[in-house]
Structures are given as structure tokens and as C-alpha cells.
Structure 1
Amino acid sequence: MSKKIAIGSDHAGFAYKTEIIAFLKAEGFEVEDFGPTTEASVDYPDFAHPVSSSVEEGKNELGVLVCGSANGVAITANKHQGIRAAIAWQNEISALARQHNNANIVCIPARFIDIELAKKIVKTFLTTDFEGGRHATRVGKIACS
């Protein structure tokens, strides 16, 4: 069974989001697009919060957020207690975010990496497992509640 993935962006990440959705569907993932639907200027929290809630509530297993720098969507996503959103601009960072931090949303900086690297980062994130062990103890200390 394929993983269910939530995805969203802002206007700066819209083109990448569109390409990443097509890529993920071709790879066999089930993708729920939380918008936006055009490149018109939007406020990233309007899309980062629904993606984060979807992952936090278990409606989707993992999430992908895309904006210009990835900072805005990561900051927004990490306001949710059950979310561990990681900015990844290299493939190795994507893998470590899953392996060591059990990140459940990857944030892509569309203005700083090319689309092929973005797709590679997303695929690595979605197919890498959490290692657990000593990392589980650390991850268990992240939440404030």
C-alpha cells in the first residue's frame, strides 16, 4: 500500500509543488494537495497549517511543504505539537531528518535548489525510516506538553 502524502506551498513554491505532485503520483504515492491552485500571491500559513493538521491527525502519513526559503512553512508547521518539520536543501539532510529526528514534514526551499534535487530530497524523505533507539529518546523530549 502506498503512503498518503499531504502537500502544500505558497506562491513561490507553486511550480515546484505541481511538479512534485506529478512525480509522487508517478512513483505510486497517494497525494492530497492542500493548495494553492495558482501562482497568485498567498499567505503560506493558510496552506502550512492544513497540511500540518492533516499529518498530525493521521489523515496523511507524511507531508511536503514548499516555499521560497522553506523557513516560513517550517516555522508555521512546527507550531503544531505533533509535527517535526525539517528544512532540507541537500539529500543527506532529508535522510537524517527522517532517520534521527523522525521528521514528518519536509520543507523545500524552491528559490535555492533545482527541481530535480527537490524531487530527490522528497523521495528520500518519504522512503527513509526512523532509526529509533537512542534517537527515539531524544525525539520524545521535543514536545512541550
Structure 2
Amino acid sequence: MKIAIGNDHAGTEYKLAIVGYLKSKDITVTNYGTDGTDSVDYPDFAHPVAEDVEQGNVDFGIVVCGSGNGANMTANKHQLVRSALCWNKEITTLAREHNDANVLSLPARFIALPQALEMVDTFLNTKFEGGRHERRVEKISCS
């Protein structure tokens, strides 16, 4: 499995922990995020993640910023991206099962680190249900 990850300064601690977790699971990670805490602009890191997802270079993307909103909005500007802002395990499960989300957006300032790692695990291990959800997901794209 291949994952692209991006973060701004608010998400550095979480990104580093997530990268370590993913690598411990033998998952290949492309890191587009900052490794520092100096202020940076989240679109500079969310766009490359979304581009990798859109082009099929990775299986999934993860973006992390303070509220999760800015990175989520940025990722969703890409035609084939379905980024989901998640704040608990249940929402994460539904984002995969019902919406076939391919990017997970995490709000670093509003969730605990162990919760974020649990959500990453849930995101990567939950399958899209298809069925009645298939036609809805197809309608998301404006192409």
C-alpha cells in the first residue's frame, strides 16, 4: 500500500506519528508535509497529496492541519478526490463505507493523537460498501 501525507505546522506532531505508524505496517509513505513548526500554508502540502491520489500514484492520502478544514477544502478541489474531514472513528468508517473517501483529513487541534492513529487505521482498513452508495459516489464528480 502507498500513502501520500501532507501537513502544515499545526499537524507536524501528528504527521510524524502517523508516518511512523504507517512505516511500522510496511506501508510506503510519500511525505509532502513540513517537519517543522514554523507557519506554512496548508495548500502547499495538500495539493501534492491530492495530485498523487488523483493520478493513481498512491492508494490513499492523508492531510493534517489545525482544523482539518483548509486541507480538506484544498484536497477536494481535485476532480477525483473525495476527502473527508473526520473527527472520530465512526465518521471515518462511514466516510469509507458510504462515500468511498480516498483522502482522510484530520483536525490536529481537535483530536487526541491516539484517536488520530485509530482513525488512520480505520480509514485504511474499511472497505467501500458499494451497492446503493455507488450511484451517489458517482454523482460527486462533476465530470
TM range (shorter): over 0.9
The separation in 1 between residues aligned to 2:98 and 2:109, in whole angstroms, is 26
The separation in 1 between residues aligned to 2:35 and 2:109, in whole angstroms, is 19
Aligned to 2:104: 106
Aligned to 1:17: 15
Q: For residue 35 of structure 1, report the CA deviation from its aligned partner.
A: 1.8
The separation in 1 between residues aligned to 2:93 and 2:62, in whole angstroms, is 14
Equivalenced residues, count: 143
1:93 to 72, 88, 91: 91
1:144 aligns with 2:142: yes
Q: Deviations over 1:82-128 (max 9, x none)?
A: 00000111001111100000000000000001000000001100111
Structure 1 alignment gaps of length 5 or more: none
Q: For residue 28 of structure 1, report the CA deviation from its aligned partner.
A: 2.2
1:33 to 31, 34, 53: 31
Counterpart of 2:55 in structure 1: which amino acid?
E
Q: Deviations over 1:51-90 (max 9, x none)?
A: 0000110001101000000000000000001000001110
Aligned to 1:125: 123
Q: For residue 37 of structure 1, report the CA deviation from its aligned partner.
A: 2.7
Deviates more, 1:41-50 or 1:21-30: 21-30
State the TM-score, normalized to the length of structure 2: 0.98
Q: For residue 27 of structure 1, report the CA deviation from its aligned partner.
A: 1.9
Local SS of the residue matching 1:140: helix
- What is the identity percentage for the equivalent residue pairs of Structure 1 and Structure 2? 55
